[in-house]
Amino acid sequence: MTLALALALVLPCGPQAQDPLPQDPPAADQARIEHDLRALVGFGTRHVLSAVDEKGRGTGAARDWLEARFRECVGQSGGRLVVERQTGAVAVRRQGMPPETTVVNVIATLPGTTDAERVYVIGGHYDSRNGNGADGERDAPGANDDGSGTCVALECCRLLCARKFAATIVFVAYDGEEQGLLGSAVHAKALAEKGAVVDGMLGNDIVGNTLGMDGERRRDYLRVFSYAPTGNDTSGRSLARALSWTARRMDGFAVRLVFRGDRYGRGGDHRSFFEAGFPSVRCTEPREDFSRQHQDVVMKEGKPYGDVIEYVDFAYIAKVATLNSMTVAELAGAPRAPELVRVEGARDAYDTFVDVGEVRDASAYEFVWRTTTAPDWEGAQLVAAKDLEFKGRNQTARHVLKNVCIDEVVVGVRSVAKDGSRSRVTAAPEPDATVFRAAAARGR
C-alpha cells in the first residue's frame, strides 16, 4: 500500500493482526537477555545502600557492568550514542534508611536527527531489595524486579543504536526505585529543566514472570498501565494505545490496556514522568507472583520465596523488549503527533468533520475512531498530506469521515512519516469538556 494513493484508504483494524513495517527492528535476542540477567543477579544485591567499591558484589559493581554494556553499543551507533552516569543526592523518606542518599542512573542517549529535542525513554530499575527495604547487606537478587526491566532497556539499546531516528531515544537503568522512585525523579526533572519534549516514557518493571500463583501460565500478553486524570484520552493513554497498536504486528503477543496508572498500593518509575507532565506507561507481566517480590530468599514450609532467577521466563522478557523497541522505533521515526485536532458533526448526515493542524514532515495523516466504550481504536483512514488542503491562520485541513456518527465515537489523528511510521494519536476534545468548564466556573 502506498501513501501516494489519491483516495483515502480504509484500513481494516480492530484486534486483528497488522502487517509488519519494513523498518521494524529485529526481534530481541533471548539468549543475550538471559546472559545479561544472570550477570545482574550475580552481583548478589543491587540495593542502593549496598557496596559501591566491592569487586563482583553490590550496586557499584552492577552499574560498572551496565555502563560497560551500554558502551559496547557506541561503536555500533557510529559514535553517536552518549553513555553517562547521572548522579543525584536525594532525600529519602523510608523507615531505616538514612535521610539522604546518592542515586546513580546509567543512561545511554541516541540523539535524534531532525527533531532531537523530542525524546522517548525506555527504562527499568536496576536497584533491588529483599524483605527489609533498608537492608544493603544480605542478598536481594532482583531477577524479576527489576532485572527483567533493566534487561529490556539494555536490549532495546542494542536493537536500535545502529539506526537513525528523527527523535532522540534514551535507554536508562534507574537507581533507587525501591526507595521512592528516586532515580527516575532525578532523570525526569533534568529532562524537564533542559526543555526536552518527552513524548513517551516506557517504564518496564516486573516483566519476567509468567507462572501465576494459581498455576496458570500466561506469556501471550503484557499489561500496560497509564495515568489519565481527565477523560480516557490523555497523552499517557495515547502512548499505551501506541503499544497495543504495535503488538498487533507481533505473533502471539498482545497488550492488555489497564486504565489506571498502576496497581493498588504500588508505584514505578513511570510515575516520576507522569508527575513531571510527560506521557508515560508501566509495562508489567500479566501474572505477578507476590511471593517473589520484596522477599528474602528463603524456603517457608516447602515454598520458595525471593526474587531468584529460576522463575524468570527469558523468552517472555524478549517479547517485551521486542514490543518496546518496535513501538519506540515507530514513534521516534514518525513526525510529532498533531497539536490541533477538532471535530464537528454534519447537520444533515451521520458524517464527522475532522480538522487537523499541519505537522512538519508528515506525509500522511491517519484518522482513527472508536466507540466511546471501546478500549482501543477500531477504525482508521489514511489520507496522503497532498490530498488535504491546509489553510487559514492555523494551517488546518478538514477531512470527512463518512457514516461515522460523532456522538458515538472518539475521533483522533496521528501523523505518518514517508516510511509509514505513525505518531501517537491526538484525540479531539470531548463535548463534555465545555460543560465541565462551565460547571467549574460556577463553582460546582
Whichever of 9 and 97 has its CB closer to Zn ion, that residue is 97
Q: What cell was used for 253?
A: 503477543
- Minimum distance from CB of 212 to Zn ion (Å)? 18
Looking at this protein, which amino acid is placed at residue 400? Answer: V
Tell whether residue 139 is a contact of Zn ion (CB under 5 A). no
Whichever of 36 and 145 has its CB closer to Zn ion, that residue is 145
Stretch of residues binding Zn ion (CB under 5 A), selected from 70-78, 143-151, 152-160, 343-351: 143-151
Whichever of 155 and 307 has its CB closer to Zn ion, that residue is 307
CA gap 379, 408 in Å, rounded:
13
Stretch of residues binding Zn ion (CB under 5 A), selected from 146-154, 161-169, 295-303, 372-380: 146-154
Site residue total, Zn ion (CB under 5 A): 3
Tell whether residue 175 is a contact of Zn ion (CB under 5 A). no
CA gap 79, 110 in Å, rounded:
10
Whichever of 63 and 424 has its CB closer to Zn ion, that residue is 63
Stretch of residues binding Zn ion (CB under 5 A), selected from 145-153, 191-199, 251-259, 398-406: 145-153
Tell whether residue 285 is a contact of Zn ion (CB under 5 A). no
Sequence-ordered list of residues with C-beta below 8 angstroms from that of 243, at least 6 positions apart, any chain: 202, 222, 224, 255, 281, 283, 323, 327
Sequence-ordered list of residues with C-beta below 8 angstroms from that of 1, at least 6 positions apart, any chain: 9, 382
Reduce the DSSP state of residue 200 to 3 states and report it. Answer: strand
Tell whether residue 127 is a contact of Zn ion (CB under 5 A). no
Crossing angle between the packed helical segments 314-333 and 149-160, to the nearest 10 degrees = 50
Compute the residue count for the chain.
444
Sequence-ordered list of residues with C-beta below 8 angstroms from that of 153, at least 6 positions apart, any chain: 122, 123, 124, 171, 172, 173, 204
Whether 226 and 237 have beta carbons less than 8 Å apart is answered as yes
Using alpha carbons, select from 172, 44, 43, 47 the residue that is nearest to residue 98.
Answer: 47
Tell whether residue 146 is a contact of Zn ion (CB under 5 A). yes
* Dihedral angle sign, alpha carbons of residues 207, 210, 211, 212: positive
Whichever of 143 and 413 has its CB closer to Zn ion, that residue is 143
- Minimum distance from CB of 307 to Zn ion (Å)? 10
CA gap 311, 171 in Å, rounded:
25
- Minimum distance from CB of 206 to Zn ion (Å)? 6
Stretch of residues binding Zn ion (CB under 5 A), selected from 50-58, 203-211, 308-316, 321-329: 203-211
Whichever of 147 and 412 has its CB closer to Zn ion, that residue is 147
Containing H/E element for 41?
helix 30-41
The bridge status of strand 221-226 relative to strand 298-300 is unpaired
Whichever of 288 and 330 has its CB closer to Zn ion, that residue is 288
- Minimum distance from CB of 329 to Zn ion (Å)? 25
Tell me the per-residue interface mask from 90 to 119 with Zn ion, x by CB under 5 A, - otherwise.
Answer: ------------------------------
Whichever of 101 and 415 has its CB closer to Zn ion, that residue is 101
Tell whether residue 205 is a contact of Zn ion (CB under 5 A). yes
Q: What cell was used for 106?
A: 546509567
Whichever of 131 and 375 has its CB closer to Zn ion, that residue is 131
- Minimum distance from CB of 326 to Zn ion (Å)? 23
Stretch of residues binding Zn ion (CB under 5 A), selected from 137-145, 239-247, 395-403, 425-433: 137-145
Tell whether residue 145 is a contact of Zn ion (CB under 5 A). yes
Which positions touch Zn ion (CB under 5 A)? 145-146, 205
